[in-house]
Structure 1
Amino acid sequence: MLSVGVFLFLSYSTAPVVLGVPPIKIQPEQVHLSYPGVYGSMMVTWTTFDEADSMVEYGLLGGKLFEMMAKGSSTIFVDGGSEKRKLFIHRVTLSALRPGFTYVYHCGSGAGWSDIFYFTALNESSDWSPRFALFGDMGNENPQSLARLQKETQVGMYDVILHIGDFAYDMDEDNARIGDEFMRQVESIAAYVPYMTCPGNHENSYNFSNYRYRFSMPGDTEGLWYSWNVGPAHLISFSTEVYFYTDYGLDLIVKQYEWLKKDLEESNKPENRKSRPWIITMGHRPMYCSNNDHDDCTKFESLMLLLSPHITKLPQPLLNANFARVDLELWAHEHTYERLWPVYGFMVYNGSREEPYVNPKAPVHIITGSAGCREKHDGFIPDPRDWSAFRNSDYGYTRMQVFNSTHLYLEQVSDDQNGKVIDSMWLVKEQHGVVAWV
């Protein structure tokens, strides 16, 4: 028999009675940040599985909680798998942020809110020393480096994360549920600092759609290539994959080449090189490596090293031409770590025998693809070429700090050895641009 209270509630309530059904389809998840390339801004991106408003409430740490609010919009992403799962990708840009100040935020709508996160707005002058964690090839199975990166990010060790291709293994699998799980895993990093990306070969399914929809990078190329400034560095992210997945359009090769040429010419203008002297590139597949897996970079005529001016227009001659003068090139793809001597055209151009990385005459290459995934490690050939300086197959990741206009520091962390630094180097460039290569 119903009690009087229950009877009256059921009799007079106009709302439907719903017992124990959480709003799982409109609850924000997979929250991550990126820098949209506009001064004093930060992009917040998240996912829901049904339509909802896109809002971020935020405020300065120590001030009134959520005293500011910004609205954005959502994009419907229909995965290419058999279920044609529908995801709503929400994007909100926070503007007029105070550089160097910490903000507390959550995202969502009246239908549901995320957890509370925080971030520090980037100091966008060229006079500070940004700190990076960089790696590629991290999956949601065997993500060996993830826990250490989570902790180090949350204690404030990094200003930016660079994920140099290959996510989840693979984001499209199980009708994109693997992508969802990966984005949930990295939320504990990516919701606190800008998580900047480039595409890898494992993102190729359905024309890289999971990558293009899930991440929010600067520019209007869906994150395939873009550039941005941070501290004394100009960072360029480009797609090595346009040269391998040509079924998606040869025009992407030409478009990227023309964009890259223009970007390098602009960043090498004397006034721009003065304020952002370091030019750093990142792309997934390396030009050089000493692995034994018969992949492209293990071949003498590597596709990433060749130039066909009529068809491929590959980046090696472009990146090292007189107008380019790139200082540092970051790669992944090989599931190992390798540091090269300054190299161009298989030739080593050290600054000197005693100080090879002081005023070198060619770009320095770093391969950091050992963050951890289901494909485990790659092996090395027994005897590398002269341009290979150090290599290691431990699971791990790389830290980088651009200290000032002349000094840049890199170190490799081994997760297998409980966070031990197993390699380090200072790259010193007293001059940048054309004069540095004479």
Structure 2
Amino acid sequence: CDCHDKTVLFFGCHLLAFINAPVSESNSSVRSIYIISNDWELFFTGEPCSMVVTWTTFSKTESKVEYSLLGGRLFEMTAKGDATLFVDSGKEKRRMYIHRVTLTGLKPAAAYAYHCGSDDGWSDVFSFTALNNNTSFSPRFALYGDLGNENPQSLARLQKETQLGMYDVILHIGDFAYDMHEDNARIGDEFMRQIQSIAAYVPYMTCPGNHESTYNFSNYRNRFSMPGQTESLWYSWNLGSAHIISLSTEVYFYLEFGQELLFKQYNWLKKDLEEANKPENRAVRPWIITMGHRPMYCSDDDQDDCTKFDSYVTPGLEDLFYNYGVDLELWAHEHTYERLWPVYGDMVYNGSKEQPYVNPKAPIHIITGSAGCREKTDRFNPNPKEWSAFRSTDYGYTRMQVVNTTHVYLEQVSDDQYGKVIDSIWVVKEKHGFSAWF
């Protein structure tokens, strides 16, 4: 890895740790330190080979991370950052400090030990592997949406698999905690503690869902720190041979928070897709993958937006994604798993009858919103449209590997069936971009 290659991403991480100290919130000393959200934020800056560590305290303290190469002298390096005050909008107006520290000069694919905090209190010791920024890297993802504080059924299996080193990145496609603002944001605190055994070890990348909308998405915007300058609402980043775009479908539904967000995101998306489709960029990272909470299509029996032909999301995004050759679209919101045939304009465009996902003629949609929450799983319409290829109401999550420039592998894990893989596909594309549809 050449860390001076200006195409390298800045890699940020929100690592999760928790110190359980019997001190009240009103006490001036630290009650808890937990690294929020392990959205190890991957984002490009002028300093590649870096990470951002994020955590929260209830008192104002120094922001410090001590770290070292795994196996070396412990904590031989120190980085300092700063904290911003977040005041929850609930009745109690609870105050918390969000800490962010940037680690620089990391060696790609090297393992590190770290802890965060200050002399007022330290987290447990955790480890992470800096992402490989080589374009031939084959990253492995776990992806899901709709994971709650109550009934987080898939969480234990995800924790174990993460700590076994099965994943390089986690994609949480909206809806956290159910809901982060509840009980004056204490549910948000507890949820962050719940996911620490995932988020402390791998990048935890996010997008907003409808359950984050309270107080204009303030808990989401403060607790997560994704790339770019949009308060984590939309952003893009590169990994291996993929360009990954995260977006907010909620701009189409919460117009009371400002219609300008809808236009700002659309203009940003168009510009980002234009850049990703420049021949020199698409040659290196041919896969364009999007993640957004509410799907364009679904066959659930709940009358949600995606069950309607005139979905709010579809006219806003479908033509844009099709015209710029988006390969794979990841969604959640529906508490089910559904794999679609390649679809555009409500019609199926398989690569062929025998091999539908080999050189498909339209984007491929995956809905993975059954990780587990208090609202349970959803029911399906017994008569789905032709684009519905596989459906399951089991609790579970999806695995994805961007193997190389021509192959992506996806499989669905059923937590109800003790980790059994119940569905899998290979997506094979010898050509990418708009012209690949013809």
Give the TM-score range, shorter chain: over 0.9
Q: 1:349 to 1:51 in 2, by over 3 A?
A: same
- Structure 2 spans left out of the alignment, 5+ residues: 1-21
**Match of residue 201, structure 1, among 210, 223, 236:** 210
Deviation at 1:184, TM superposition (A): 0.3
Is 2:230 the counterpart of 1:213? no
User: Highest CA radius of gyration, 1 or 2?
Assistant: 1
Task: Report if the CA contact (8 A) 2:30-2:120 is conserved.
Answer: no
Partner of 1:226: 235
Give the alignment's TM-score, normalised by structure 2: 0.92
Aligned-residue Cα RMSD (Å) equals 1.1
1:35 maps to amino acid: E
Taking the aligned partners of 1:110 and 1:338, their CA distance within structure 2 comes to 49
Q: Which amino acid aligns with 1:337?
A: Y
Partner SS, residue 367 of structure 2 = strand
- Name the CA distance, whole Å, in 2 between partners of 1:27 and 1:288: 42
Residue 426 (structure 2) aligns with: 426
Kept after mapping to 2: 8 A contact 1:99/1:122:
yes
CA distance in 1, matches of 2:319, 2:351: 21
Report the AA paired with residue 394 of structure 1: D
Q: Which string of whole-angstrom CA distances, capped at 9 and with x for unpartnered residues, describes residues 180-222 of structure 1?
A: 0000000110010000000000000000000000001000001
Structure 1 segments of 4+ aligned residues over 4 angstroms from their partners: 20-24
Name 2:169's counterpart in structure 1: 160
Measured after TM superposition, the shift of residue 305 of structure 1 is 1.5
Is the CA contact (8 Å cut-off) linking 2:322 and 2:434 kept in structure 1?
Answer: no
Contact in 1 for aligned 2:151/2:374 (Cα 8 Å): yes
Whether the 8 Å CA contact 1:27–1:108 is kept in 2: the answer is: no
Q: 1:57 to 1:386 in 2, by over 3 A?
A: same
Residue deviations 1:81-104, cap 9 Å, x none?
Answer: 000000101011111111100000
| Counterpart-to-counterpart distance in 2, 1:233 and 1:339 | 20
Q: Does 1:368 align with 2:368?
A: yes
Equivalent-residue separation in structure 1 for 2:156 and 2:437 (angstroms): 41
> SS at the partner of 2:436?
helix
How far 1:243 sits from its partner (Å)?
0.6
Q: Does 1:28 align with 2:33?
A: yes
Separation in structure 2 between the aligned mates of residue 292 and residue 36 of structure 1, nearest angstrom: 37
Q: How do 1:222-301 residues align onto structure 2 when only pairs under 5 Å count?
A: 222-301=231-310
Q: Secondary structure at the match of 2:314?
A: coil
> Normalising by the residue count of structure 1, what TM-score does the alignment of the two structures yield?
0.92
SS at match of 1:174: helix
CA distance in 2, matches of 1:80, 1:326: 38
Question: How do residues 75-86 of structure 1 correspond to structure 2 at under 5 angstroms?
Answer: 75-86=84-95
SS at match of 2:184: helix
Alignment gaps of 5+ in structure 1:
1-19, 307-313
Counterparts of 1:130 and 1:80, CA distance in 2: 38
Structure 2: distance between partners of 1:28 and 1:287:
39
Give the whole-Å Cα distance in 2 for the aligned partners of 1:417 and 1:235: 30
Alignment-derived partner of residue 52 in structure 1: 61
The alpha-carbon deviation at position 269 of structure 1 amounts to 0.5
| Pairwise CA distance, 1:136 | 0.1
Q: Distance in 1 between matches of 2:23 and 2:222?
A: 29
Distance in 2 separating the partners of 1:357 and 1:263: 26
For residue 400 of structure 1, what is the amino acid of its counterpart? Answer: M
Structure-2 residue corresponding to 1:320:
322
| Distance (whole Å) between structure 2 residues aligned to residue 347 and residue 355 of structure 1 | 17
Task: For 1:317, give the aligned amino acid.
Answer: D
Instruction: Give the whole-Å Cα distance in 2 for the aligned partners of 1:248 and 1:297.
Output: 22
| Identical pairs, percent | 71
**CA shift digits 1:101-131 (9 cap, x unpaired):** 0000000011110000000000011101000
2:43 to 12, 37, 48: 37
Equivalent position SS for 1:34: coil
